[in-house]
Amino acid sequence: MVKALNNVSREKLEIVKNLLKRIHEGESFEELKKEFSHILSQITPFEIVTVEQELVREGVPINDILRMCDIHLELFKNALASRQLKGIPKGHPLDLLIAENDEILKTSEALSLYAGVLARALKEGDAGEASKALTSLKSLITAVKNQLRSHYRKNQMVLFPYLERRGISAIPRVLWGREDQVIVKLRELMNLLDKAAENPLSQESVKVSETITQLSRDIADLVFRENKILYPALQVLLSESEWAAVDKVARKLGFFVKQDEGEWAPSEQPKYPYEVVAEITPKQVEELPEELKGVISSTSFPPDTYTIVREGDLEFETGFLTREEVEALFKSLPLEITYADVNNRVRFFSESSISGGFPRAKTILGRRLEYCHPPRLEQYVARNVEALKTGKEKYRVFWTRLGDRIIRVLLVAVRKPDGELLGVAEIVEDFTEVLNNPSEIMKKIVVL
């Protein structure tokens, strides 16, 4: 801690303490913000965690520290904007991603504060205060985990492919690795918190406090890297059509911040990474953040020019496949599908090479779906199909046996995006191993 404080500097710490004292005395928030803007804008998010920990140890009220955090966050955001991110319209994907980072940073700083409260309670042997702190920490960890999963998913699935297409693969891999470490730590913390709750003054509680303090720094570090390096780089590199695609996909995945009607609306059609062949130009290199400029100017970054679309492909909403790939893909699935059109006539069925279901043959094509079942089930099937077609149900699930195998039958309505009915699918899957050996299956589970 002493080493960390030396890095922040005692001078900065004393200035922050003076600010907090004056906040507590009720001085004007806006006036204080003007007076302390210079020093606070120089404290990075991961330095602020160290300052906060020291303040909690000294007994500074949590609410005062949180108010200081609000000032710091606003000033830090303004400092970043003046250095790197300029001219981002309201409602642009970068605007929303930065807004998410603001919320993540607030939650992370609150985590750090309550970790300090817990540490103080442990030092004083106050089980009641320790228990309260643990309860607050559990709630905050759940909140930040949900925020981070949503935020990181957009980085990993939407933004990183555009960098990789330009030959920049190391930055996405390193950032994803760091993001993954944070998620794993959060998962471990939830288990540790449950143990600590049984005895608030235990060693588990000590470990909770220490782990959360470090975790807050890790989260703040990632926020800093994104706002100072990743997002400015993307602002320079991506075209309007690429941002249109980012916006479309990111909104489908969802932002956890409020999305008001903004100034920005894409002026071009979406262009996805597989459609982009983009070398980094010298002009773009000059506009990149300093942390990237040196690396990119001194190293060759050949773009990824792999062509995913081939002659004869069938184009789907989610990709491209040849007829041969479609046939092979259906055979590779551990389930079998029978599809009937809106008139209940069978048009298609698949056969699995992994796990077979009920016997079917090409001679059922054109047959009424209910006639593919025994007469005793004909009306039963017809009623369920009708319930799906009318929209009364989205799907129906049935369980049956086929010899010694346990089979799940899923009957589902197949519709266009606008809701128009196309037909009904019967999906058959063998669940024998799962249901007969649940304990063995549980042992095989790997949390990704």
And the tokens for 166? 């330009």
How many structural domains does the chain have?
Answer: 2
**Looking at the DSSP assignment, which residues form a beta bridge with residue 339?**
348, 425
**Cα(25)–Cα(60) distance, integer angstroms:** 13
| 3-state SS, residue 317 | coil
Residue 40 lies in a domain: no
pLDDT-wise least confident of 114-123, 184-193, 281-290, 359-368: 281-290
**Residue 37: inside a domain:** no
Q: Looking at 238, 260, 282, which one is the last position of a domain?
A: 260
What's 262's DSSP letter? Answer: -
pLDDT band (50, 70, 90) for residue 6: very low
316 in a domain, yes or no? Answer: no
Shared domain check, 253 and 131 = yes
Q: Is residue 331 part of a domain?
A: yes
pLDDT value for 82? 47
Same domain, 347 and 433: yes
What is the structure's pLDDT at 31? 80
Measure the CA–CA gap between 97 and 95, rounded to whole angstroms: 6
User: What is the distance between the alpha carbons of residues 292 and 294, in angstroms, rounded to a whole number?
Assistant: 6
Both 255 and 326 in a single domain? no
**pLDDT over threshold 90, residue 292:** no
DSSP class per residue in 54-112: HHHHTT--HHHHHHHHHHHHHHHHHHHHHHT---PPTTSHHHHHHHHHHHHHHHHHHHH
Question: Looking at residue 405, which CATH number applies to its domain?
Answer: 3.30.450.20
Q: Is residue 15 situated within a structural domain?
A: no
CATH (domain of 111): 1.20.120.520
445 Cβ contact list (under 8 Å, min separation 6): none
Which residue range is the domain that position 358 belongs to?
321-444
User: Is the four-CA dihedral 418, 419, 421, 423 of positive or negative sign?
Assistant: positive
Of all residues in the chain, the percent with pLDDT exceeding 70 is 86
Give the pLDDT band (50/70/90) at residue 285: confident
Asked which of 243, 260, 277 is the last residue of a domain, the reply is 260
The pLDDT tens digits of the residues spanning 314-346 come to 999 999 999 999 999 999 999 999 999 999 999
Residue with tokens 């970054």, as numbered in its chain: 301
Q: Which of residues 234, 260, 286 is at a domain's end? A: 260
297, part of any domain = no
**Contact (Cβ atoms closer than 8 angstroms) between residue 162 and residue 238:** yes
pLDDT tens, position by position, 61-96: 766 776 666 665 565 555 555 445 778 999 999 999
Q: Which amino acid is at 98?
A: I
Chain-centroid distance of CA 170 in Å reads 20
In a domain, 303, yes or no: no
276 domain-assigned:
no
* Residue 14 neighbours by CB under 8 Å, 6+ apart: none
Q: Report DSSP state, residue 334.
A: S
Same domain, 116 and 225: yes
Residues 328, 249 share a domain: no
Question: Are 331 and 248 found together in one domain?
Answer: no
Tokens (6 digits) for 40: 């606070």
